[in-house]
Structure 1
Amino acid sequence: MLVTRYGHAALLVESGATRILIDPGTFSRDAVFDLTGLDAIVVTHQHPDHVDPDRIGDLLEANPGATLLADPETAARLGSPWRAHRDGELTLVGDLELTGVGEWHAVIAEPLPRVANVGVLVTASGEPTLFHPGDSYAVAPPEVDVLAVPLSAPWTKVAETIEFVGRVGPKVMFPIHDCTVSEAGHGVYWQHVSRFGGVPDARDLPQDGTLDM
């Protein structure tokens, strides 16, 4: 399995000939919207840093055969051919199995309405299992090998991130959702999470880095 970051929460996951893109949002690298040959595009929730409303259409045109999965609210907003991806639902895409995890975005502030959030487990026979939780620490699925951990957000703090990492218990982790802090701030957050999260292989994968597992 090959995982490439495209900035913030956007990940390209490749296994064999199968290519899955997760959360191409406004903070993503421009190059993510030039990708072709995608077998699926997965959106965890409707916030623009996870799905760019101005550029998602061009990405779909460049990948007309891709399976399109999103949480139920986002699927309804984007319309056909997007399909609702719900907690526990499994979708087969080429060599990969995509399983929905969770239902709700973490609370940002009590006056703000919560939106749906469905993370995704990505796995295949003989491959490690990757978990991208979107914007929630609510669910820690079992047997996760690789965790893409949201490092900084208006809805969390470092102690909660460390607690979540401990509950998931991955063998490998790397940061996502880190465009909300400066480069200097990133180092402070990552130092705490990597030091106290208890993960054997904690990799500070850069915004355009690649992980080969």
Structure 2
Amino acid sequence: MADMDVTRFGHAAVLVEAAGSRTLIDPGAFSLPATFALTDLDAVVVTHQHADHVDRDRIGDLVAANPRARLLAEPETAAELDGFEPTGAGASFEVGGVTLTGVGSRHAEILPSLPRVGNVGVLVTADGEPTLFHPGDTYEYRPSGVDVLALPLSAPWAKVSETVEFLRAVAPRTAFPIHDCTISEIAYAIYWTHVESHGGVDDLQRLAQDGSLAH
């Protein structure tokens, strides 16, 4: 397989470079400032409407700096963002040599009293390259054939037993953490050690907020 370059830009924001295309997923409020200075993007994908996945105050500047980028978002979110097309479960979009495919439809339950908003994760695939899965905010959907998993590590809707079970069910060759700005550095190992010890994946990459990997 060819290399796929993956770079974190804080919390759930991930830049995926594969088959000559650059796809940015979930540029949210917890993302690094450098996220919103990125250029030469071929696609911007937003999995759902929560602020830690889409920063409405800054995404306009990002879009303006990337006029040729395809803009894709979960349907409820797309309806509220200028220029974004709705995604959906099984919907595929060709962006250069990459295919972006929607996975799932709804956010994980936070509280029974709160309505569940839409959430569409994304598979990034290209001929001869690994397949990456970014689920957004849910463990409900487990596509097959995932090589690289962006693993949500901590959230109001998650507990560590669910994190581990999700990782084992998807069974990627490589996984790295996302959605971890809710964990202090001093407590990070409480979560990550359980993933390492019980997740059943040998190649776990604890990427920093600005870390990267080639796979």
TM surpasses 0.5:
yes
Looking at structure 1, the residues matched to 187 and 104 of structure 2 have their Cα atoms a distance apart, in angstroms, of 29
Q: Who is 1:119 aligned against? A: 121
Please list every run of at least 4 consecutive aligned residues from structure 1 whose deviation after the TM superposition is greater than 6 angstroms: none
Task: Count the aligned residue pairs.
Answer: 212
2:16 to 13, 37, 49: 13
1:87 and 2:84 correspond: no
Looking at structure 2, the residues matched to 119 and 89 of structure 1 have their Cα atoms a distance apart, in angstroms, of 11
Looking at structure 2, the residues matched to 150 and 25 of structure 1 have their Cα atoms a distance apart, in angstroms, of 14
2:132 to 130, 134, 140: 130
1:39 to 30, 37, 42: 42
Q: Any conservation in 1 of the 2:19–2:126 contact (CA below 8 Å)?
A: no
1:173 to 166, 172, 175: 175
Question: 1:17 deviation in Å?
Answer: 2.4
Question: CA RMSD for the aligned pairs?
Answer: 0.7
Looking at structure 2, the residues matched to 97 and 191 of structure 1 have their Cα atoms a distance apart, in angstroms, of 33
Q: Which amino acid aligns with 1:181?
A: I
Looking at structure 2, the residues matched to 17 and 169 of structure 1 have their Cα atoms a distance apart, in angstroms, of 27
Looking at structure 2, the residues matched to 187 and 91 of structure 1 have their Cα atoms a distance apart, in angstroms, of 37
Within 5 Å, give how 1:40-189 maps onto structure 2: 40-79=43-82, 81-189=83-191
Q: Any conservation in 1 of the 2:5–2:213 contact (CA below 8 Å)?
A: yes
Q: Any conservation in 1 of the 2:72–2:84 contact (CA below 8 Å)?
A: yes
Looking at structure 2, the residues matched to 86 and 134 of structure 1 have their Cα atoms a distance apart, in angstroms, of 13
Q: Which amino acid aligns with 2:15?
A: L
Looking at structure 2, the residues matched to 117 and 48 of structure 1 have their Cα atoms a distance apart, in angstroms, of 13
Identical residues among aligned pairs (%)? 62
SS of 1:20's partner is: strand
Q: Who is 1:3 aligned against? A: 6
Q: Which amino acid aligns with 1:147?
A: L
TM-score where L is the length of structure 2: 0.97
Q: Which amino acid aligns with 1:73?
A: E
1:92-111 per-position Cα deviation (integer Å, ceiling 9, x unaligned): 10111100000000000111
Looking at structure 2, the residues matched to 112 and 180 of structure 1 have their Cα atoms a distance apart, in angstroms, of 20
1:106-143 per-position Cα deviation (integer Å, ceiling 9, x unaligned): 00011111100000000100100000000000010001
2:199 to 197, 200, 204: 197
Question: 1:16 deviation in Å?
Answer: 3.7
